């Protein structure tokens, strides 16, 4: 314990690191970690709920797979092969759906992390601590990303065992790189939703709406080319569309991308745009709700 801290303690004050420096960064990282640990402790207090959520990605995927296979009378679609170079509907759907859960991470887990604290009645206490509000949201993002990864691992193991998947092992690393870039942009999106949940009384409707729209505009269970032209253009503003196309290029044999352009550059631009926009809206909302005094209202 250093001298300053002892002195601070005697005066009834706490010295806190502020500004852009290593000490402050370490403190914020600690806050993110502790926020994530807290979320895990709450989650593991309800083991049945945890178990249910772990199998949830598999359950949600199954109807898409069964429906797809019933439509083509097997696992090969001639029409799909004409469009994207591969006719394996199981591998196509799996590689698309595997990332959909992470959209839920951004929209629901991050977006409603602040709302959750409001319900528990702990938001004000957290907001008066000398840590960034974003650390709370990012802590939830960390927890939710790990949680979703567990669900995805269960999903992968079972689908691989039951149906088999034609994936290129060598493409896993670059696909993971694309996945990380996509997640960064989704984090920015999640920060935006968490800001909206502070001001909107029925924020879940906005979140569900955004989730549904993103699901339609992303080539999860169909190639982008089946969407109308306007929808194809609109899909470019969300990270999921370029990320899905990019991941499939690396993971599926003979896959022909339905969009042309540098996916890495596209995703980097979306990362910067969504993160900056998310933080800006979050900052403005934070000021607004404090000024209005509506922090604890929901």
Under rule CB under 8 A, residue 220 binds another protein: yes
Under rule CB under 8 A, residue 79 binds another protein: yes
Q: Which of residues 102-141 bind another protein (CB under 8 A)?
A: none
Please say whether the beta carbons of 241 and 215 come within 8 A: no
CA 55 – CA 42 distance, rounded (Å): 19
Of the listed pieces 56-64, 109-117, 123-131, 274-282, which binds another protein according to CB under 8 A? 56-64
| Beta-carbon contacts of residue 193 (< 8 Å; ≥ 6 apart) | 106, 107, 110, 111, 112, 203, 206, 207, 210
DSSP 3-state of 252? strand
Under rule CB under 8 A, residue 26 binds another protein: no
Query: Please, what is the minimum distance in Å from the beta carbon of residue 246 to another protein?
Result: 19
Q: Among 202, 230, 260, 291, which residue sits at the site for another protein (rule: CB under 8 A)?
A: 202
Tell me whether residue 62 or residue 295 sits nearer to another protein (CB atom): 62
Query: Please, what is the minimum distance in Å from the beta carbon of residue 141 to another protein?
Result: 22
Tell me whether residue 215 or residue 273 sits nearer to another protein (CB atom): 215
Of the listed pieces 31-39, 60-68, 104-112, 269-277, which binds another protein according to CB under 8 A? 60-68
CA 76 – CA 82 distance, rounded (Å): 12
- Give the bridge partners for 167, in sequence order: 252
CA 125 – CA 109 distance, rounded (Å): 20
Please say whether the beta carbons of 290 and 211 come within 8 A: no
Please say whether the beta carbons of 24 and 17 come within 8 A: yes
CA 28 – CA 22 distance, rounded (Å): 10
Q: Among 24, 83, 232, 269, which residue sits at the site for another protein (rule: CB under 8 A)?
A: 83
- Give the bridge partners for 88, in sequence order: 76
Tell me whether residue 100 or residue 110 sits nearer to another protein (CB atom): 100
CA 216 – CA 213 distance, rounded (Å): 5
Tell me whether residue 142 or residue 227 sits nearer to another protein (CB atom): 227
Q: Among 9, 15, 17, 46, which residue sits at the site for another protein (rule: CB under 8 A)?
A: 46
The residues binding another protein (CB under 8 A) are 46, 48-49, 52, 56, 59-60, 62-64, 66-74, 77-80, 82-83, 89, 202, 205, 208-209, 212-213, 215-216, 220-223, 226-227
């Amino acid at each position: 314990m250093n001298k300053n801290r002892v002195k601070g303690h005697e005066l009834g004050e706490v010295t806190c690191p502020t500004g852009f420096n290593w000490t402050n960064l370490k403190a914020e990282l600690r806050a993110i970690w502790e926020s994530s640990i807290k979320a895990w402790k709450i989650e593991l207090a309800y083991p049945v709920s945890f178990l249910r959520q772990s199998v949830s990605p598999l359950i949600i995927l199954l109807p898409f797979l069964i429906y797809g296979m019933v439509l083509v009378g097997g696992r090969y679609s001639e029409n799909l092969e004409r469009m994207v170079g591969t006719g394996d509907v199981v591998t196509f759907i799996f590689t698309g759906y595997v990332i959909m859960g992470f959209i839920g991470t951004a929209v629901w887990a991050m977006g409603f992390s602040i709302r959750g604290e409001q319900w528990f009645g702990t938001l004000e206490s957290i907001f008066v601590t000398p840590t960034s509000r974003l650390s709370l949201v990012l802590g939830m993002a960390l927890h939710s990303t790990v949680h979703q990864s567990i669900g995805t691992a269960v999903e992968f193991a079972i689908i691989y065992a039951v149906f088999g998947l034609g994936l290129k092992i060598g493409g896993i690393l670059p696909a993971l790189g694309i996945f990380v870039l996509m997640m960064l942009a989704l984090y920015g999106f999640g920060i935006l939703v968490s800001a909206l949940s502070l001001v909107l009384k029925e924020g879940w409707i906005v979140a569900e709406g955004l989730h549904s729209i993103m699901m339609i505009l992303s080539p999860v269970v169909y190639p982008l080319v089946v969407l109308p032209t306007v929808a194809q253009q609109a899909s470019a503003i969300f990270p999921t569309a370029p990320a899905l196309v990019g991941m499939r290029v690396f993971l599926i044999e003979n896959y022909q991308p339905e969009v042309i352009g540098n996916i890495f550059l596209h995703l980097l631009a979306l990362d910067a745009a969504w993160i900056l926009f998310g933080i800006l809206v979050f900052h403005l909302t934070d000021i607004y709700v404090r000024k209005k005094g509506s922090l604890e209202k929901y």
